[in-house]
Amino acid sequence: MKNEDKERFILYLEKLFPNAKCELEYNDPFQFLVSVILSAQCTDKRVNMVTPKLFEKFPTVYDFASADIRDIENLIKSCGFYHNKAKNIKNASIEIVNKYNGKVPTNIEDMMKLPGVGMKTAKVVCGDLYNADVIAVDTHVLRIANRVGLVDEKDPSKCSVKLEKLLKNDMPRIHHRLVLFGRYHCKAQKPNCEQCEIKDICKYYKSKL
């Protein structure tokens, strides 16, 4: 995609979703990390239904670190993959207490050393909490970036690195806009091409003509 087309796409995202932000609800960095872990293969809406009771029972990282894992599991069951998620949350809590004095790490490298925290989670957390210049690539971002022709890269980690080189700034915000664009406009099965204002520069649309 040409530079001017990239700029136009980014402006279009801004026009469609000017106030895009993370839809997860949280009160502190640790709660945000827990919510992002829970949101894997689950909707933000579902996570927001689960976390009020979870954070009421376990208000701090210390409470999670000393929790009985079955109590965590019972409270997060409806988010799916709850055995793994509970294990990851508890183990990450223990690590944060032991290694980071109870504070969520502030950089991607340390974040990714936490049990169950992969690159995508680390980038979402560091982008939103610390405004790091990174872009997390989930299924929507991967699909959209390839569809419109920003990148030609199916591997999420490599796609993330390529997008970071291309986009350069305001990436956490662009990440959220791309997610909303994929969720509501350029859906996986039914992209809204006829109403789309960038179809003349979209690789996918042009390939269909």
Residue 197 near residue 5 (C-beta atoms within 8 A) = no
Q: Does 183 bind ligand SF4 (CB under 6 A)?
A: no
User: Residues 90, 123, 138, 162: which is the catalytic one?
Assistant: 138
CB of 112 or CB of 193, closer to ligand SF4 = 193
* Interactions with ligand SF4, residue window 88-147 (CB under 6 A): 147
CB of 9 or CB of 64, closer to ligand SF4 = 9
CA dihedral (35, 38, 44, 47) in degrees, to 10, reads -80
User: Residues 85, 120, 123, 162: which is the catalytic one?
Assistant: 120
138 is annotated as an active-site residue: yes
CB of 6 or CB of 199, closer to ligand SF4 = 199
> Considering Cα of 162, then 167, then 172, then 178, what sign does the dihedral take?
negative
DSSP letter for 201, please: G
Separation of alpha carbons 157 and 161, rounded Å = 7
85 is annotated as an active-site residue: no
DSSP letter for 131, please: -
CB of 109 or CB of 194, closer to ligand SF4 = 194
Q: Which range touches ligand SF4 (CB under 6 A), out of 33-41, 72-80, 114-122, 190-198?
A: 190-198
Six token digits for residue 136: 């997390």
> Considering Cα of 22, then 146, then 17, then 3, what sign does the dihedral take?
positive
DSSP letter for 101, please: T
Separation of alpha carbons 86 and 26, rounded Å = 18
Q: Does 191 bind ligand SF4 (CB under 6 A)?
A: yes
CB of 147 to ligand SF4, least distance (A): 5
Return residues touching ligand SF4 (CB under 6 A).
Answer: 147-148, 185-186, 191-193, 196, 198-199, 202, 204-205
- Residue numbers annotated as active site: 120, 138
